[in-house]
Chains A and B, each alone.
Chain A
Amino acid sequence: MKQSHNAGAREFGLRLWRALRQPLIAVLFGLLVGALVILACGQNPAAVYLEMFDKSFFKPYYLFSTLTRATPIIICSMATSMAWRAGYINIGVEGQMVTGTLVATVVALYVPGPPVLIGLLAWIAGMAAGALYALLPAVLTWKFQVSMVITTLMLNYVANNIASYFVTYPLKDTSGDGLSFHTPEIHEVMRLPRLSSSSTFNAGFLLAVAVMLLMVFITRKTVFGYESKMGGFNPSFARYGGTKQVKVMMITMALSGAIASLAGSAEVFGLKYRYSDGMLSSTSYAWTGLMAALIADLDPIGMFFVSIFLSGLQIGGSAIQRSLGIPLEIATIIQCCITLFVSVKLVFKIRKKKASKEEVKEGGVKA
């Protein structure tokens, strides 16, 4: 009994260590590259980083900004991982988010009825639209073996351009100055409640937490989660084991698109109260979410914290752009370097080599 308990604890420890070691080391390397860039800009890296983290995590106002910005990033990372873990390289989360959000906004603005109900309907319609937009490349992959990498990316541009068209012409708010391209504001009842009186931090963050918990549940506790994971590891193995792969692919992609739509809806219903041109693409929420997913190796809890970290980098990045004149893209540079270091797994290579050789030894002695 005690032994099994120990084994369980060891297994848990092993899993935690496996989940954390890679991202932590990669983050250090990423910050190191960032420091070099800052040096090249003629600034003191330590001072800049201090300022960056001060104005993203340590001061309450900035911490709230960080968490607010993290909301869509967390949800996008979940949407990305949903598909990637099953082996479907969906880099079209942005397009699915844009489509879903636009539909949700239109429903909220133009469908008549009691605002509470319509608000709910808007979220659901958005999810349906996001899901359908994600199913399109899934069907093309299934029927025509078209590369999902290319189709999902192409569909981003299509969605962005079409959304831009709608906001510029038919849906444009005519009451304003006419210079900014956005829709009218949604009804007050539909807006998500604020969680802090002094900032824009809102209930969207709770939604992000809920999506994360849902992901944990799906990946660890359901047969669907198991089957999609095996499909991602080795599709032939999953097929041979009798899983219905087409069904798994369709559910996976639909869920991915539906979750993606939540990211944008949370932004509209919780923060901006309207859809404005480029609000979801210029902020590159989807891509930051993708980076978070890669850094955390698709682990939901890991992605949650990495998303907050990356969001903090961006909030801190805009702070130092204002105060020190270093462009905020320093955040992008750091975050991409982190993923590159994650991809190489350099530090643990040696350790792994050793381990695998010991494996060989065991096999050899038995023979």
Chain B
Amino acid sequence: MNSAYIASILNSTLRSTTPILLAALGSAVCSRVGVFNIALEAQMLIASFASIAVNYFTGSILLSVSAGILSGALVGLIVAVLQVKYKAADMVVGTSLNLLIQGGTTFLLYLIFGLRGSLVDNRLVSLAKINLPVIRDIPFLGRVLENLTIVDYLSYIIALLLFIWLFKTVSGFRILSVGINKAAAESLGTKAVRIQMGMVVLSGALCGLGGTVLSMGQVIMFTENMTSGRGFIAMAAASLGMSHPLMTILSSLFFGLCQGIGLALQNIIKSQLTMTLPYIATIVALVLFSRQLKPSAKLKKQGKA
């Protein structure tokens, strides 16, 4: 295994991480305010579709990305209204929306483009690729960071900003308080429901950006159900990162690495088998880290009882 090979794996790790990280941040902000959002998959998928559709008709990157973010936020809004406002069961809302968007995007793909399966077209434009001037010429690092999009860099900045917002500012303190003790927050005039709904919509926007990267980053196409469980992997990443934005970067990188390795192994092992790698890795990671978290989790349960 030479260094170029490793560099290319790391490169595809970074690319695979971005959608997961963005969705995981979305999951994290929801669980920080006590909302269990499992419609991440739907929030991503609709954005993948919307961004490609707008891309197809306008050819504008800015409009495509906005469409992705907005459509994700829209699905987030539905989750917020149903789950937070009307207190509908999270599992029911989540699974229904995931399937609705899966069916709905397929429906629209056929209705608008007359296509089944996927949409590829050479009119579609990709997100701007960045090759930083100096780093480009460093042998190993240059290859690792080759052709990353602006959103790949942006996702880490977003994580950092979220951390500062939640843990260092007054409004962040109020937001976190809603997740810690909703009744207490409300008793001092914090509009807890509004904050919860806002965070769910934010998670929709983050997932929307993630879905956009998925369809306009590495590849420029839309495929039916192209998120293929990434929303759930992101949930796992957020829970391993204990819903802390900076820790979530690490756990997301781990899942990105699994996908990167899976892609690299496709030349050696049949693709059907390598494709299982990220999913198995998710389960294994959850099991391994549960050991460490277990005592404190158990104690919490006892405290409640």
Contacts and interface: CB of A to CB of B under 8 A. Distances in A.
Asked if A and B form a direct contact in the complex, defined as CB atoms under 8 angstroms apart, the reply is: yes
Interface of A: 37, 41, 89, 91, 140, 144-147, 149-151, 153-158, 161-162, 164-165, 168-169, 236, 284, 287, 290-291, 294, 326-327, 329-333, 335-337, 339-340, 342-346
Contacts of B297: 145
Contacts of B107: 37, 327, 329-330, 332-333
B290 A161 contact: no
B236 interface: yes
A336 B99 contact: yes
B82 to A, nearest CB: 6
Given A150-B286, A168-B272, A145 B294 contact: yes
B272 A89 contact: no
B305 A236 contact: yes
B181 interface: no
A154 B229 contact: yes
Given A157-B276, A327-B106, A343-B88, 4 more contacts: A41-B111, A154-B283, A329-B103, A340-B82
B287 A140 contact: yes
Nearest to A340: B96
A150 B97 contact: no
A154 B281 CA distance: 10
A287 B96 CA distance: 9
Contact of A340 (B38, B97, B228, B275): B97
Interface string B71-110: 0000000000010001011011101110110111011001
Interface of B: 38, 82, 86, 88-89, 91-93, 95-97, 99-100, 102-104, 106-107, 110-111, 228-229, 232-233, 235-236, 239, 270, 272-273, 275-276, 279-280, 282-283, 286-287, 290-291, 294, 297, 305
Contacts of B97: 336, 340
Binding site secondary structure of chain A: helix
A144 B286 contact: yes
Contacts of B290: 144-146
A164 B228 CA distance: 15
Contacts of A154: 229, 232-233, 279-280, 282-283
Contacts of B272: 161-162, 164-165, 168
Contacts of A287: 95, 99
Contacts of A157: 228-229, 275-276, 279
A342 B275 contact: no
Contacts of A333: 100, 103-104, 107
Contact of B93 (A162, A329, A340): A340
Contacts of A330: 107
A294 B100 contact: no
B239 A147 contact: yes
A144 B287 CA distance: 6
10 contacts: A37-B107, A144-B287, A144-B290, A146-B290, A147-B286, A156-B229, A157-B276, A294-B95, A340-B97, A343-B96
B270 A165 contact: yes
B92 A343 contact: yes
A236 B305 CA distance: 9
A140 B287 CA distance: 7
A331 B100 CA distance: 10
Contact of B89 (A37, A144, A343): A343
B31 to A, nearest CB: 12
6 nearest CB pairs, A to B: A332-B103, A336-B100, A165-B272, A329-B107, A343-B88, A144-B290
B110 A329 contact: yes
A41 B283 CA distance: 42
Contacts of B283: 140, 146, 150-151, 154-155
A144 B103 contact: no
Contacts of A153: 229, 232
Nearest to B90: A343
A346 B286 CA distance: 37
Nearest to A277: B272
A1 B60 CA distance: 78
Nearest to A41: B111
Contacts of A146: 283, 286-287, 290
B280 A337 contact: no
Nearest to B103: A332
B103 A336 contact: yes
B232 A332 contact: no
